[in-house]
């Protein structure tokens, strides 16, 4: 069986869209992966994290933030779409109407109800091996955030901690307890 290419993936995606299906697909080692929709809590965590990050990045013109529909063609010919990603302005001076052929500087994966931790960690580690500087895994089941870097062991943060990423966003701070969805009375 031959490996699927990015062009093959696009054809499959177009066929599915014509049939009324709108699946998020990734390409990994010549295989198509169908990505499940996120649960509502994970979706809200993603938008909250993105909003906090965007509020810091945009006025400083540091780069671009993408959500889970933004696909990246990686040097290993895989097509991946992290839940949230950031690319420095110097690497992507303008947005494009195709998948970006660039490795994001930051990738964030958010554990959904059906996700398992190991595949999410593996996805982050693939990005790190290709040049991503920081990977973040948000696990709302345990209310923890784990930070991955190539230069050190993963660091786990809890509600009492503050997330900082000085190598990408000097001065930015996000209290971990701000990531979780609000509960209304």
Q: Is the pTM higher than 0.85?
A: yes
Q: Which residue in 80, 146, 76, 153 sits closest to 111, CA to CA?
A: 146
Domain residue spans in the chain?
1-35, 37-178
Q: Which residue in 130, 172, 133, 124 sits closest to 151, CA to CA?
A: 133
Note down pLDDT in tens along the chain; length 185 residues: 578 888 888 888 888 888 887 777 878 888 888 877 788 999 999 999 999 999 999 999 999 999 988 899 999 888 999 999 999 999 999 988 888 999 999 999 999 998 999 999 999 999 999 999 999 999 999 999 999 999 889 999 999 999 999 999 999 999 999 999 999 98
Among positive and negative, which fits the CA dihedral 109, 111, 112, 118? positive
Which residues lie closer than 8 Å to 70 by C-beta, 6 or more apart? 81, 85, 100
- Residue 108, beta-bridge partner list: 84, 136
Homologous superfamily of 37-178 = tt1808, chain A (3.90.1570.10)
Q: H-helix or E-strand containing 163? A: strand 162-163
Contact 143, 160 (CB under 8 A): no
| DSSP output for 70-92 | --EE-TTS-EE--SEEEEETTT-
d(CA 101, CA 178): 32
User: Residue 108's pLDDT is what?
Assistant: 98
């Amino acid at each position: 069986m031959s490996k699927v290419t990015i062009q093959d993936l696009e054809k499959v995606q177009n066929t599915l869209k014509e049939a009324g299906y709108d699946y998020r697909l990734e390409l990994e080692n010549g295989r198509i992966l169908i990505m499940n929709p996120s649960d509502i809590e994970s979706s809200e965590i993603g938008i909250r994290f993105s909003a906090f990050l965007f509020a810091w990045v945009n006025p400083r013109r540091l780069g671009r933030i993408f959500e889970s529909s933004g696909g990246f063609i990686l040097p290993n010919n895989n097509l991946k779409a992290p839940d949230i990603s950031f690319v420095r302005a110097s690497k992507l001076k303008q947005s494009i109407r195709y998948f970006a052929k660039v490795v994001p500087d930051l990738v964030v994966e958010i554990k959904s109800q059906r996700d398992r931790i190991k595949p999410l960690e593996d996805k982050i580690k693939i990005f790190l091996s290709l040049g991503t500087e920081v990977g973040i895994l948000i696990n709302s089941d345990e209310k923890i955030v784990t930070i991955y870097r190539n230069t050190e062991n993963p660091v786990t943060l809890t509600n009492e901690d503050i997330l900082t990423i000085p190598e990408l966003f000097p001065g930015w701070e996000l209290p971990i307890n701000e990531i979780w969805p609000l509960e209304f009375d």
